[in-house]
A and B are shown apart, each in its own frame.
Chain A
Amino acid sequence: MSAMLSVERLTRRYGPGCDRCLASTGPAHGTNSCPHCGTVVACADVSFDVEDGEVLGIVGESGSGKSTVAACLAFDQPPTSGQAFLEGFDGDMLSADAAARRRLRNTRIGIVYQTPQQGLALDVTTGGNVGERLLAADWRHVGRIRARASDLLERTEIPIARIDEEPRAFSGGMRQRVQLAKALASRPSLLILDEPTTGLDVSVQARILDLIQGIQREAGVAMVVISHDLGVIRLLTERTLVMKLGRVVEEGLTDQVLEDPQDAYTQLLVNSAL
């Protein structure tokens, strides 16, 4: 089985940067900001593979760099260094030209953000939000766009009668489901879920997690799930990376990582879970 996504030594710094940044930050130093130049090393040397149909979790506390990894893979942030290879795309996708990146982003990669404002235009109709990815993929038939949007809204349990309403009028849980429908519109090969259920109440969380599981089973899409919530990671993922201060500190099968954590930080994380 070939990897759907292969990430190699992904690094993202914020600041001027110096030769000693990487050697002076990370869990061993207890900080992610370089004492010499003040640069914040959001993530460094992050490497992993995601197989076709696999669900990979990235867990870690706030500020551990997990969302930066997501932002780099969704082209929202340019990485400082590192490469990523997506199956079927020739070469490193992170250094592709802007038009190629946009095409990948619109057709092959879907992302669900923690806040719907990031992923949705709240003043554009729900159908338009979902259809935007289809329009970007050169769909030029309104009827077919609406049919596909309706299918996805039905799948994500949004009443189809509300297809021409703005997500502004929707609850937080509904907006999150619209984001999911939008991310799935162009049948992506890779779905990135960046804290998809954070900030939602428990019953709504459960429905969205159910939905994600169902979609994963049906579509077999490769997923990267980013969360600080071990419950979400346990439920959705097969393999997990644990991040701390921008570095991967532990990696393994999710059950193994959560039942028998090796790294001190992971032990703390598991023991802190309510």
Chain B
Amino acid sequence: MNVRTLLDTPVPEPGPAYNYAFLDEGTKREIRRAVLKAVAIPGHQVPFGSREMPLGRGWGTGGLQLSLSLLGEGECFKAIDQGADDSVNAVNMRRLVAAMTDAEPVTDTRAATLVQSRHRIPEERLRPDQTLVLQVPAPEPLSWIEPRYAQTQRMHAERDYSPMWLYLYESIARHGEIAVGANYPVIVDGHYLMSPTPIPRWDVPKLDRAPFLTLLGAGREKRIYAVPPHTSVVPLEFEDYRFQVERFAQPCARCGATDAYLDEVLDPRSGETVCFTCSDTAHCELRRTEAQR
């Protein structure tokens, strides 16, 4: 074949640049299989072959792969980052999902069928027909105390969690309290110790016997795990040192909420606290519009 005939050969029509939902069908099937296994063994980390995604590892690739393998026609997708719909990462993720799938991007929690979140669970109580996808930086709760994977596997299998209890005891002996701010270790369904991702303690009780499905995806660490609906999620606590959620001295400065998780707003110059505002921006917005009516 000479150059002339090559040049004369008509260029084939380009197909769609990407498969539906960015991932190829085989990958989506693999992820759905991992999800089924994860749902069948609540709190157990299921390995999966995490793909390269058009965002950096550690920026929610695990959550995004879960969302993309689940979103179909008629779905409504909400992405939040630390409670906010309008952070750069959440906006980009929502745009990507909108461009690649038939799902409709939304910010109203009530309208969403799938909520992908980093480090928060919405204040709005999720319903049985909604799914929560959490982005996981470090899926292994035992990594605080045991770096060897083979050992953590053995500990999970034998439910040998006394080193974790010792870790909490040490925290009390040294600091006078369980000094775990976020990512509070929980026991799922009476068996597996699970990292609920760095959600604040405030959000942990929302997982216990929740009516909705929670899927947790760690892209960098290549693990998927799940809390199926109506599954017990119990934080580790001592009889005399109970698990406690955060308490706030003031209500939200914007909507006046006293029953929501608040962020502290600091003056960047003086470093002093200016006020507290709702971390869940959609919920805060909703309360304000309802108050105006």
- Measured CB to CB, the residues of A under 8 A from B are 98-99, 102, 106, 124-125, 127-128, 131-132, 135-136, 140-143, 145, 163-164
CB of B165, distance to nearest CB on chain A (Å): 4
Contact in complex: B158, A99 (CB < 8 Å): yes
Contact in complex: A124, B238 (CB < 8 Å): no
23 contacts between A and B (CB under 8 A): A98-B154, A98-B158, A99-B159, A99-B160, A102-B160, A125-B174, A127-B169, A127-B173, A128-B170, A132-B162, A132-B166, A135-B162, A135-B166, A136-B162, A140-B239, A141-B238, A141-B239, A141-B240, A142-B172, A142-B239, A142-B240, A145-B169, A164-B174
Contact in complex: A135, B169 (CB < 8 Å): yes
How far does the alpha carbon of A124 sit from the alpha carbon of B145 in the complex, in Å?
Answer: 12
Q: Which residues of B contact A140 (CB under 8 A)?
A: 165, 237-239
Q: Which residues of B contact A142 (CB under 8 A)?
A: 169, 172, 238-241
| Interface residue total, chain B, C-beta cutoff 8 A | 17
Chain B stretch 136-168: residues in CB contact (< 8 A) with chain A = 154, 158-160, 162, 165-166
Contact in complex: B165, A135 (CB < 8 Å): yes
Contact in complex: B170, A124 (CB < 8 Å): yes
Contact in complex: B238, A128 (CB < 8 Å): no
Q: How many A-B residue contacts, CB cutoff 8 Å?
A: 46
How far does the alpha carbon of A18 sit from the alpha carbon of B121 in the complex, in Å?
Answer: 62
Q: Which residues of B contact A125 (CB under 8 A)?
A: 170, 173-174
Q: Which residues of B contact A163 (CB under 8 A)?
A: 173
How far does the alpha carbon of A140 sit from the alpha carbon of B239 in the complex, in Å?
Answer: 6
How far does the alpha carbon of A142 sit from the alpha carbon of B175 in the complex, in Å?
Answer: 13
Secondary structure type dominating chain A contacts = helix
Q: With A102-B158, A164-B173, A164-B174 in contact, do A124 and B239 touch (Cβ < 8 Å)?
A: no
Q: Which residues of B contact A128 (CB under 8 A)?
A: 166, 169-170, 173
CB of A80, distance to nearest CB on chain B (Å): 22
Chain A minimum-CB-distance residue to B159? A99
Q: Which residues of A contact B238 (CB under 8 A)?
A: 140-142
How far does the alpha carbon of A136 sit from the alpha carbon of B154 in the complex, in Å?
Answer: 16
CB of B192, distance to nearest CB on chain A (Å): 15
How far does the alpha carbon of A164 sit from the alpha carbon of B174 in the complex, in Å?
Answer: 7
What 7 additional pairs, Cβ within 8 angstroms, besides A131-B169, A132-B166?
A: A98-B154, A99-B159, A124-B170, A135-B165, A142-B239, A164-B173, A164-B174
CB of B170, distance to nearest CB on chain A (Å): 5
Chain B minimum-CB-distance residue to A141? B239
Select one of B158, B162, B240 contacting A143, CB under 8 A: B240
Q: Which residues of A contact B173 (CB under 8 A)?
A: 125, 127-128, 163-164
Q: Which residues of A contact B170 (CB under 8 A)?
A: 124-125, 128
Chain A minimum-CB-distance residue to B154? A98
Q: Which residues of B contact A132 (CB under 8 A)?
A: 162, 166
How far does the alpha carbon of A140 sit from the alpha carbon of B172 in the complex, in Å?
Answer: 13
How far does the alpha carbon of A215 sit from the alpha carbon of B153 in the complex, in Å?
Answer: 38
CB of A126, distance to nearest CB on chain B (Å): 9
Q: Which residues of A contact B166 (CB under 8 A)?
A: 124, 128, 131-132, 135
Q: Which residues of B contact A145 (CB under 8 A)?
A: 169
Q: Which residues of B contact A99 (CB under 8 A)?
A: 158-160
Q: Which residues of B contact A164 (CB under 8 A)?
A: 173-174
Chain B minimum-CB-distance residue to A124? B170
How far does the alpha carbon of A163 sit from the alpha carbon of B170 in the complex, in Å?
Answer: 11
Q: Which residues of A contact B240 (CB under 8 A)?
A: 141-143
How far does the alpha carbon of A131 sit from the alpha carbon of B165 in the complex, in Å?
Answer: 10
Contact with A along B170-185 (1 / 0, CB 8 A): 1011100000000000
How far does the alpha carbon of A142 sit from the alpha carbon of B168 in the complex, in Å?
Answer: 10
Chain A minimum-CB-distance residue to B236? A140
Q: Which residues of B contact A131 (CB under 8 A)?
A: 166, 169
CB of A89, distance to nearest CB on chain B (Å): 18
Chain B minimum-CB-distance residue to A146? B173
How far does the alpha carbon of A106 sit from the alpha carbon of B240 in the complex, in Å?
Answer: 23
CB of A153, distance to nearest CB on chain B (Å): 13
Q: Which residues of A contact B239 (CB under 8 A)?
A: 140-142
Chain B minimum-CB-distance residue to A98? B158
CB of A134, distance to nearest CB on chain B (Å): 9
How far does the alpha carbon of A136 sit from the alpha carbon of B158 in the complex, in Å?
Answer: 12
How far does the alpha carbon of A133 sit from the alpha carbon of B239 in the complex, in Å?
Answer: 17
Interface hub of A102, A131, A142 (most chain B Cβ within 10 A):
A142
In order of increasing CB-CB distance, the 10 nearest A-B pairs are: A136-B162, A135-B165, A141-B239, A99-B158, A135-B162, A142-B238, A125-B173, A164-B173, A143-B240, A128-B170
How far does the alpha carbon of A131 sit from the alpha carbon of B172 in the complex, in Å?
Answer: 13
How far does the alpha carbon of A106 sit from the alpha carbon of B166 in the complex, in Å?
Answer: 14
Q: Which residues of A contact B159 (CB under 8 A)?
A: 99
How far does the alpha carbon of A168 sit from the alpha carbon of B170 in the complex, in Å?
Answer: 15
